[in-house]
């Protein structure tokens, strides 16, 4: 059977799209390169075949959001910086490109399989590191002990001492016992699972003894590091795992025979991704996944079961809060937590800036240069120059109400599409129903977390969001075509 140039270009574009899906849970640079190649080949195929891209329900909302972003950059307080940030907005085009490349259900399933398999590899490595541990977690330090005087605190993770990586509690004990007491001890450690610091115990503090009791410490296998996979930040990894775990959970919920080996495999995959998310100790992502799971389950059950879910929700929240306190030392909300204090200051100033610059905002990344002029108290008081930790507030500040409304329109249209599809009977195709259910859960989780995270600002998270949106658009088009007998 002969193939046309259009068919060949589609196959090549689909191959690059699969490579993009495989790279996304691991490497942003490889993901960006393969996504660009997929888009270029797709466009070349359209031009060569003299075809127009098929329209999707998100075309107009995407156009409006891009236009609003361009206007916000042009009228920014710092146009040069804001115009450069438009490159991130271009990632939204992944959605229509993906929808255009996926012409058959087979291509859709291949994409989902590659994406979840690659995510499972990343999650497996993270979970394995948690099992074997890394370094040692400080359980306690005695008052007046050498470690206490050096500034070491409970829940710190000591990674290396005297340039030697610590392999566990026994190795740590042996390393200290063998240390020359006439020389200072220098160690590298983490605080709150992320902040790297170095401390030194002077030789004068070492004393004659070398046992743990003499040193005044208690340790356990190091599992306190917040997992981030191969990404640069644990929140980015958590937000990616959140969407992918919801996707896998949706497929499992839709599988008709829960005792079948395939159902067990899907459940194991979902639990593996959930475990990787749990290893990040990211509370908003935890809560968002729980909400996504409840939303998906509510679609599959009747009214009485939904009422039971409402009763169970507070118990789930309480259980998750207990785990957070145990593993991270802080629950979902604690006014003494510096990150909570930072968020509240940024949210208050963000809402004020939206009132002061309502139309097009101040421009992307302008706050990093004009923070004194704009009166960002958190920058001054807490010496941390970051974002507003909320996607709606960040968009409102940087792109004004015009950009925020365009974003909300885009989200509403996308969620309505998913709700319309997820309410349709599963019929005989559990995969299509499960995929839509998982996409609905992923979108729900992303949106819930976006209230307290600027997850739209992470390229990896945004690329996954638009890849899944493009998959939803392709499945919607294929379903409509089949209904019309095409």
Residue range 403-436, pLDDT digits in tens? 999 999 999 999 999 999 998 776 668 899 999 9
CB 108 within 8 A of CB 473: no
Reply yes or no on whether the pLDDT at 114 is more than 80: yes
Domain termination site, one of 221, 240, 271: 221
Q: Considering the domain boundaries, does residue 5 fall inside one?
A: no
Asked if 135 and 193 touch (Cβ cutoff 8 Å), the reply is no
Same-domain status, 299 and 327: yes
Mean pLDDT, the chain, as a whole number? 91
In a domain, 298, yes or no: yes
Q: What is the pLDDT of residues 377-407, one digit of tens each?
A: 999 998 889 999 999 999 999 999 999 999 9
Q: Given this model, what pLDDT does residue 208 score?
A: 52
Tokens standing for residue 444: 């729900």
Token reading at 63? 């156009």
CA 321 to CA 331: how far, in whole Å? 5
Determine the 3-state secondary structure of 458 from DSSP: coil
Q: Which of 204, 221, 238 is the last residue of a domain?
A: 221
- Note whether 341 and 453 are same-domain residues: yes
Boundaries of domain holding 202: 134-221
Residue with tokens 């070491």: 152
Let me know whether 320 and 286 are in one domain.
yes
Whether 74 and 197 share a structural domain: no
32 lies in some domain: no
Q: How many Å apart are CA 467 and CA 25, to the nearest integer?
A: 12
| Whether residue 67 is found in the same domain as residue 86 | yes
In a domain, 363, yes or no: yes
CATH code of the domain in which 164 resides:
2.30.42.10
Pick the last residue of a domain from 181, 196, 221: 221
Instruction: State the helix-helix crossing angle for 261-278 and 283-300, rounded to 10 degrees.
Output: 150
Q: Do 70 and 166 share a domain, yes or no?
A: no
Burial class (CB in 10 A: 0-12, 13-18, 19+), 485: exposed
Q: How far apart are the C-alpha atoms of 361 and 396, rounded to whole Å?
A: 7
In tens, the pLDDT along 334-370 reads 877 888 999 999 999 999 999 999 999 999 999 999 9
Same domain, 413 and 293: yes
* Nearest-angstrom CA–CA distance, 277 and 287: 11
pLDDT in tens, 264-323: 999 999 999 999 999 999 999 999 999 999 999 988 777 777 777 777 778 887 888 787
Please tell me the predicted confidence (pLDDT) of residue 2.
53
- Pair (390, 419) in one structural domain: yes
> Which tokens go with 271?
């639990």
pTM of the model: 0.92
Q: H-type helices in 54-160, by residue range?
A: 59-74, 79-84, 86-89, 94-101, 105-132, 146-149
Q: Are residues 359 and 348 in the same domain?
A: yes
Question: Of 234, 265, 243, which Cα lies nearest the Cα of 129?
Answer: 234
pLDDT surpassing 90 at residue 484: no
Question: Within this chain, do residues 139 and 120 fall inside the same structural domain, yes or no?
Answer: no
Coil, strand or helix at 139: strand
Residues 205, 278, single domain; the answer is no
Domain tally for the chain? 2
Question: Is residue 104 domain-resident?
Answer: yes
64 sits in which H/E element: helix 59-74
- Quick check: is 13 in a domain? no
Please give the Cα distance from 267 to 166 (Å, whole number). Answer: 35
Helix (H) or strand (E) holding 160: strand 157-161
Same domain, 170 and 266: no
Answer whether residue 44 is part of any domain: no
375-379 contacts: CB < 8 A, separation 24 or more? Answer: 375/349, 376/346, 376/349, 377/345, 377/348, 377/349, 378/342, 378/345, 378/346, 378/349
pLDDT in the model for residue 335: 78
26 inside domain? no
What pLDDT band is residue 50 in, cutting at 50, 70 and 90?
A: confident
């Amino acid at each position: 059977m002969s193939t046309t140039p259009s068919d060949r270009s589609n196959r090549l574009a689909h191959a690059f799209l699969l490579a993009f899906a495989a790279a996304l849970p691991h490497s942003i640079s490889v993901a960006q390169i393969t996504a660009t190649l997929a888009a270029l080949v797709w466009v070349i195929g359209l031009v060569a075949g003299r075809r127009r891209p098929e329209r999707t329900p998100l075309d107009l909302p995407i156009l409006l959001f891009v236009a609003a972003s361009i206007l916000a950059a042009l009228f920014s307080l710092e146009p040069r910086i804001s115009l450069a940030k438009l490159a991130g907005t271009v990632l939204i085009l992944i959605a229509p490109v993906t929808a255009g490349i996926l012409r058959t259900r087979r291509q859709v399933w291949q994409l989902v399989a590659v994406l979840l398999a690659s995510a499972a590899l990343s999650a497996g490595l993270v979970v394995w590191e948690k099992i074997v541990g890394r370094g040692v977690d400080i359980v306690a330090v005695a008052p007046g002990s050498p470690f206490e005087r050096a500034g070491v605190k409970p829940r710190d993770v000591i990674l290396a001492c005297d340039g030697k990586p610590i392999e566990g509690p026994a190795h740590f004990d042996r390393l200290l016992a063998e240390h020359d007491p006439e020389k200072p001890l220098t160690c590298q450690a983490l605080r709150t699972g992320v902040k790297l610091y170095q401390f030194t115990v002077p030789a004068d503090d070492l004393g004659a003894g070398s046992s743990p009791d003499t040193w005044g410490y208690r340790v356990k296998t190091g599992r306190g590091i917040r997992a981030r996979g191969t990404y640069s930040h644990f929140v980015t990894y958590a937000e990616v795992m959140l969407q992918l775990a919801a996707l896998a959970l949706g497929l499992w919920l839709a599988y008709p025979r829960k005792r079948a080996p395939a159902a067990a495999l899907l459940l194991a995959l979902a639990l593996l991704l959930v475990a990787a998310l749990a290893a990040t100790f990211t509370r908003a992502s935890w809560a968002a996944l729980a909400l996504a799971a409840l939303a998906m389950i509510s679609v599959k059950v009747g009214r009485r079961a939904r009422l039971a879910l409402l009763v169970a929700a507070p118990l789930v929240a309480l259980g998750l809060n207990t785990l957070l306190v145990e593993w991270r030392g802080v629950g979902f909300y604690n006014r003494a937590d510096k990150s909570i204090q930072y968020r509240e200051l940024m949210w208050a100033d963000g809402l004020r800036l939206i009132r002061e610059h309502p139309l097009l905002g101040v421009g992307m990344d302008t706050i990093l240069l004009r923070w004194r002029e704009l009166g960002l108290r958190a920058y001054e008081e807490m010496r941390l120059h970051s974002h507003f930790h909320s996607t709606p507030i960040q968009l409102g500040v940087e792109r004004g109400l015009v950009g925020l409304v365009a974003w909300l329109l885009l989200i509403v249209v996308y969620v309505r599409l998913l709700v319309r599809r997820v309410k349709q009977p599963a019929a005989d195709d559990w995969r299509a129903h499960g995929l839509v259910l998982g996409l609905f859960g992923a979108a729900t989780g992303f949106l819930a977390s976006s209230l307290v995270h600027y997850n739209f600002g992470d390229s990896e998270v945004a690329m996954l969001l638009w890849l899944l949106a493009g998959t939803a658009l392709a499945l919607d088009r294929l379903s409509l075509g089949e209904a019309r007998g095409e």
